Amino acid sequence: METQKLYEEDVYKRTFRAQVLSCKPVKGGWQIVLDRTAFYPEGGGQPGDCGVLDRVNVLDTHEKEGTVLHLTDAPLPIGKRVTGGINWPLRRSRMQEHTGEHILSGVLHRFFGVNNVGFHMGSACVTLDLDKPLTADQIVLGERLANEAVYQDLPVQITYPTAAELKTLDYRSKKELTGQVRIVTIPGYDVCACCGTHVSHTGEIGLIKVIGWTHYKGGVRISLLCGSRALRDYGECLHTITTVSSMLSAKPKAISDAVSRLLEEKENLQHQMTAEQNSLFQVKAETAKPNQNGIFCTFETGLEPDGLRRFSTLLAPKCSKCAAVFSGTDGKYQYAVASVREDVRAFGKSMNAALNGRGGGKSGLVQGSVQASQQEIKDWFVKQ
Ligand SMILES: [Zn+2]
């Protein structure tokens, strides 16, 4: 039986009374059919509404052959009259974003001849897929023009033209349409066939903000936020910028320069430290004494894999077999084993097997880590 769809009569209806016609257990809960509903079912790129039916939660809403199916977390008695309430902040946000998407798609279509070939309202943002590439300047211009439509607070018109009227109408549509076609018009900006929920005036969108774009299937995918979600995102970004700005003692708009300077300083210090370390390694290597089997094993504090590699490579010519350098703490040591005369991969493998390690490399150098104490490592090396 076809459900009476209150959201088509009044998209702002948040609560309603209805009778339970059926209720059956399904995967993830119960499926409830009402005689009438204000819950918008998933369709046209817009997710289904959430909310409550009395004290039962509606988790999602779908439509099948004109019947609206409410997925709930508990059953309701058949025949009961219930009060439905939709999650209004969520629905209004979707209405803002759905209408904002129409305007931006309409503007980009009109100015740059691109067609919207995909639309998804995600939990993080809305994405729209356009069939041709756009430059950054074109997207920024499109965003600016779309927001002009918001400032003008234009009426969003819903019409159901006849088949003859449709033939003469220039409108956007993502697929071949059959039966009654619902046309959403934003005067001067967009005419599009759509079954979703939209705000009644463009001013309610508040803001249309492009937050990113990427090449996608020969065209471009634009990520978008509107209204309440755009405001929340602005708040989060501002918080991040303010925090970083205070950490760097730089004005918010100067933080990228400040970070560039920091990275440059870090790189200079890194070079300086590497040079100092190399001198120190040189001195240590001069006094290094391999054991009777030509192996030298040493422990250093605070060495990264790059330092381990440099020191072991410097020690290798002193050893007829190999040089091993370890850095870390008991239970987790990183290592590098180098040789100028032998392939050390087999040596590394047997060390990993004995000391609970992992790693590998090339003939003259292997690197990795072992889960062992300093004593256990020393004991193993004595036996080599
Ligand atoms: Zn729409």
pLDDT in tens, 118-143: 989 998 999 999 999 999 999 999 99
Q: How far is the CA of 196 from the centre of ligand 1 (A)?
A: 5
| 249-273: average pLDDT | 96
How many whole angstroms from 198 Cα to the centroid of ligand 1? 6
Check pLDDT > 70 for residue 301.
yes
Question: At residue 271, does pLDDT exceed 90?
Answer: yes
pLDDT of residue 136: 97
Residue 348 Cα to ligand 1 middle (Å): 63
Q: CA 7 → CA 15, 82, 327, 367, distances in Å?
A: 11, 17, 66, 64
- Segment 105-112 shows an average pLDDT of 96
Q: What is the pLDDT of residues 331-371, one digit of tens each?
A: 999 999 999 999 999 999 999 999 999 999 999 999 999 99
What residue segments make up the domains of the chain, in order of their start?
4-86, 92-235, 288-382
Report CA(210)–ligand 1 centroid distance (Å). 18
pLDDT at 160 over 90: yes
Residue 177 has pLDDT above 70, yes or no: no
Which overall architecture, per CATH, does domain 288-382 show?
Answer: Roll (3.10)
Give distance in angstroms: CA of 133 to centre of ligand 1.
23
Instruction: Say how many Å lie between the CA of residue 192 and the centre of ligand 1.
Output: 7
Whether the per-residue pLDDT at 182 is higher than 80: the answer is yes
Domains 4-86 and 92-235 share a fold: no
Task: Give the distance (Å) from ligand 1 centre to CA of residue 182.
Answer: 10
CATH architecture of the domain formed by 92-235: 2-Layer Sandwich (3.30)
Ligand 1 center–CA 20 separation, angstroms: 29
Q: Which CATH architecture has domain 4-86?
A: Beta Barrel (2.40)
> Ligand 1 center to residue 79 CA distance, Å?
34
The Å distance, Cα 19 to ligand 1 centre, comes to: 29
Distance 5 CA to ligand 1 centre (A): 17
pLDDT surpassing 80 at residue 91: yes
Mean pLDDT over residues 197-214, rounded?
97
The pLDDT, as a whole number, for residue 174 is 64
Q: Confidence band (pLDDT; 50, 70, 90) for 76?
A: very high
Ligand 1 center to 230 CA (angstroms): 19
Alpha carbon of 106 to ligand 1 centroid (Å): 11
374 contacts: CB under 8 Å, gap ≥ 6: 299, 326, 330, 333
- Ligand 1 centre to CA of 57 (Å) is 26
What whole-number percentage of the chain has pLDDT above 90? 92
